[in-house]
Amino acid sequence: MDEHRTIEQTPFAFTPPDTEPNIEFERVRRSDPAPRRRRRFPFVVAAGLTLVLLAAVGWVGVGGWRAAGNLRTAAALVATMRQQVLSGDLPAARVTLRSLRKETTAAQERTSGIGWRAAGLLPWVGDDLDAARTIATTLADLADNGLPPLLDAAETLTGGGLTPAAGRIDLDALSSAAGSLTAGSDVIRRSTDRIAAIPTGGLDTRTRTAVTQLDGGLARLTGLLAPASRAANLLPEMLGASAPRRYLVLFQNLAEVRATGGMPGAFVVIEANRGAVTIVGQGSAAGDLKTFEQPVLPLDADAADLYTDRIATYPANINLTPHFPTVAQLAREMYRIRTGTTVDGVLATDPVALSYLLSATGPVPMPSGPPLTADSAVRLLLSQVYAGALSSAQQDAYFATAARATFDALTRRPGDPRGLATQLMRAVTERRVLFWSSDPDEEAALAGTAVEGALPVDDGAKPGVGLFLNDGSGAKLSYYLTQSAEVTTGDCTGDGRRELSVKVTLGSSAPASGLSKSVLGLGKSGDPYTVRTHLMVFSPTDGSIADAYVDGVSVPIGSGFERGRQVAVATIDLPPGTRKTFSVTLITGPLPTVDTPVTPVVWTTPGVSPWRTTITAGKPCDK
């Protein structure tokens, strides 16, 4: 009876048409409160709807199974194409792209029909189906509109658009590559926004993983494309497309460490005119720029307190600060005062970056002595040149010859464009190639890139920690310096800040005897074989420093500020074969969010030997 009453109350209960009364019907209804005809109709309707729904779900199930297969195949093809691009086999990558487009198109078609959209309204599985449709649409867009122009750009650049021929870079090829990179980057950006908009809270674990992996992959691709696109768009004008440009190129001597790498030594001035690049000047910081009685540019109060005015009076000290735009402007002004020429920008690099490029160009012959090779350049330029009896003037002459020989090899010798680009990016990532432009628009376009070498004024959601080194020995002992760091995200504070535990271990591999006077230098540590290094630890923006220890013993530290960051300064003396660990607790500034994991960003001074850096992220504060 309960079931009968429920059926009677449904909107599908039969009502006779508005005509004369059906006597038989009326009689049946009076004599039987639950006639067969009235009971059957709602069941028929419900059964029909159920069959339609089951058919749709069945179709979605089949289509979903097939779409999943398409997407799995597409993922494998993307991995294959990535390896082909990295190996330089672009024709094969084109073939793979055609297969990829077939799979993504099929996945998109199988997830875009009315049946799939209707199933998206179902509870429990609807959001997963919507997410799958968005993933398929995004991948199809990437395969059709995003990846083809990126392959076009790769072909242009690896076909000679990046490397000079007879001292000239093809600006038309660069402009073409810039257009392709911009088109591809726009699609990547659109795809990133589309995936980021997927609500992941109620998704099945497998679907959520797919969304997260695609989001991460797009982020990594954006990270690679952004600097390449920026460079391709900037380089034509920077290489003199409209008017000649002149740049001061500083070679940093890592054997005497400074915050951005090493003490400025040899330099060259290059001119770029419609893609043709030539050396128009050459010298050394000590011999040609000399020193200045007054700061060449005014210093802000924090920089003056932290570094004194020597940063603006001694060319060897301009990069005591790690903020490269400051370094570049000081170098530019010193060069202007001494020569009367105002350059359009400043570039800094070092012998380790040179060794990377030599792996793509091949050995560079020297007028006397062994050639510079990828394996020997660092040792020759940072150690052996000081090991003999060469005077300071002879050392400067050797560096000048090496600079010109290397420049000629990079600009005039046919090389491996793909290998050169790979090694250049490696050097940029390690902060071994830094550039500042006097053009405000160009400098703004470089903002946030590794090549800018700037200390950001705002860390955002990722607190930044700076670990920078300055020589205190007055010698060339930094060649023997080793360094490692551990940065661990700690507890949350009540006001939205986080504790960061920082450990920096410095070591010396210097011998206990047998080094030349040129290497031992001034011996400011007291023992000429002891490496003295001033370690600067920069807090995150608006952060602070809590305490400091060396090998577990509390030590006094110097302190200052630069660009909104507190700076701890510790002097570490390392006799030959020893190591010491400096530990400090930092407090971040208020972070924009507390409900997401926190991963610090760490900047370091590039050295002769690489840093071994470990970063441990922190869990959300509310977990």
pLDDT in tens, 221-262: 777 777 778 888 888 999 999 999 999 999 999 999 999 999
Q: Is 436 helix (H, G, I), strand (E, B) or coil?
A: strand
Run of H or E including 22: none
- What is the structure's pLDDT at 28? 34
Which residues make Cβ contacts (< 8 Å) with residue 618, sequence separation at least 6?
Answer: 489, 490, 492, 498, 597, 598, 599
The sheet that has 553-554: what strands, in order across it? 553-554, 544-550, 579-587, 498-508, 481-492, 612-616
Q: Cα 262 vs. chain centroid, distance in angstroms?
A: 23
Confidence of residue 266 (pLDDT cuts 50, 70, 90): very high
Q: How far lies 578's CA from each of 382, 510, 511, 531, 537, in Å?
A: 21, 9, 11, 10, 21
The sheet that has 464-471: what strands, in order across it? 558-562, 565-574, 531-538, 464-471, 601-604
In this structure, how many other beta carbons lie within 10 angstroms of the beta carbon of residue 201? 6
Q: Cα 622 vs. chain centroid, distance in angstroms?
A: 29
pLDDT in tens, 145-181: 988 988 888 888 776 556 666 678 888 888 888 888 8
Number of H helices, E strands in the chain: 18, 16
**Average per-residue pLDDT for the chain:** 84
Alpha-carbon distance of 317 to 105, in angstroms, equals: 59
- What is the structure's pLDDT at 216? 79
Hey, which of 393-407, 522-536, 544-558 has the most confident mean pLDDT? 522-536
The amino acid sitting at 415 is: G
Which residues make Cβ contacts (< 8 Å) with residue 410, sequence separation at least 6?
Answer: 164, 357, 361
Q: Is 429 helix (H, G, I), strand (E, B) or coil?
A: helix
pTM of the model: 0.79
Strand blocks (E) in 323-433: 345-349
Provide the pairing of β-strand 565-574 with 558-562: antiparallel
Which ranges of 87-145 does DSSP label H, i.e. alpha helix? 90-110, 114-119, 126-141
Q: How far lies 420's CA from each of 9, 171, 215, 354, in Å?
A: 79, 18, 30, 11
Confidence of residue 615 (pLDDT cuts 50, 70, 90): very high
Ranges 123-137, 254-268, 496-510: which has the least confidence: 123-137
Q: How far lies 397's CA from each of 67, 347, 349, in Å?
A: 67, 21, 18
pLDDT in tens, 474-483: 999 999 999 9
Q: Cα 13 vs. chain centroid, distance in angstroms?
A: 67
Q: Is 463 helix (H, G, I), strand (E, B) or coil?
A: coil
Q: Which has the closest alpha carbon to 90: 150, 42, 136? A: 150
Q: Does 245-443 carry CATH code 3.40.630? A: yes
In this prediction, residues 549-563 reach a mean pLDDT of 92
Block residue for tokens 């059957």: 40
Q: How large a percentage of the chain has pLDDT more than 90?
A: 51
* Contact of 298 with 311, CB cutoff 8 Å: no
Q: Which two tokens stand for residue 456?
A: 């950001």
- What is the structure's pLDDT at 152? 87
**Angle ∠(257,259,261) on CA atoms, nearest 5:** 55
Provide the pairing of β-strand 481-492 with 601-604: unpaired
Phi and psi angles of residue 567, each rounded to the nearest 5 degrees, phi first: -120, 125
Which residues make Cβ contacts (< 8 Å) with residue 505, sequence separation at least 6?
Answer: 483, 484, 485, 579, 580, 581, 582
Run of H or E including 385: helix 385-387
Alpha-carbon distance of 552 to 561, in angstroms, equals: 25
Class of residue 10 by CB neighbours under 10 A (exposed 0-12, middle 13-18, buried 19+): exposed
Block residue for tokens 């409900």: 595
Alpha-carbon distance of 131 to 279, in angstroms, equals: 56
Q: How large a percentage of the chain has pLDDT more than 70?
A: 85
DSSP string, 397-422: HHHHHHHHHHHHHHHHS---HHHHHH
Over its C-alpha atoms, the chain yields an Rg (Å, rounded) of 33
- What is the structure's pLDDT at 34? 44
DSSP letter for 541, please: T
pLDDT in tens, 338-397: 999 999 999 999 999 999 999 988 999 988 889 999 999 999 999 999 988 788 888 888
Alpha-carbon distance of 613 to 463, in angstroms, equals: 16
Ranges 200-204, 555-559, 561-565, 617-621: which has the least confidence: 200-204
Q: Which two tokens stand for residue 376?
A: 């020997």
Could you give the dihedral angle defined by the CA atoms of residues 367, 372, 378 and 380, in that order, rounded to the nearest 10 degrees?
-40
Confidence of residue 76 (pLDDT cuts 50, 70, 90): confident
- What is the structure's pLDDT at 622? 67
- What is the structure's pLDDT at 415? 65
In this prediction, residues 298-303 reach a mean pLDDT of 94
- What is the structure's pLDDT at 353? 95
Total count of residues recorded for the chain: 623
pLDDT in tens, 14-64: 233 333 333 232 333 333 444 444 444 455 554 544 444 444 444 344 445
**Angle ∠(287,516,604) on CA atoms, nearest 5:** 70
pLDDT in tens, 502-538: 999 999 999 999 999 999 999 999 999 999 999 999 9
| For the chain, domain boundaries | 2-45, 57-238, 245-443, 456-616
Which residues make Cβ contacts (< 8 Å) with residue 46, sequence separation at least 6?
Answer: 12
Alpha-carbon distance of 193 to 432, in angstroms, equals: 33
Confidence of residue 320 (pLDDT cuts 50, 70, 90): very high
Alpha-carbon distance of 351 to 382, in angstroms, equals: 8
Q: Which is more confident, 85 or 34?
A: 85
Alpha-carbon distance of 29 to 23, in angstroms, equals: 10
* Contact of 568 with 466, CB cutoff 8 Å: no
Which residues make Cβ contacts (< 8 Å) with residue 381, sequence separation at least 6?
Answer: 351, 354, 372, 399, 402
Fold classified for 456-616: Immunoglobulin-like (2.60.40)
DSSP letter for 540, please: P
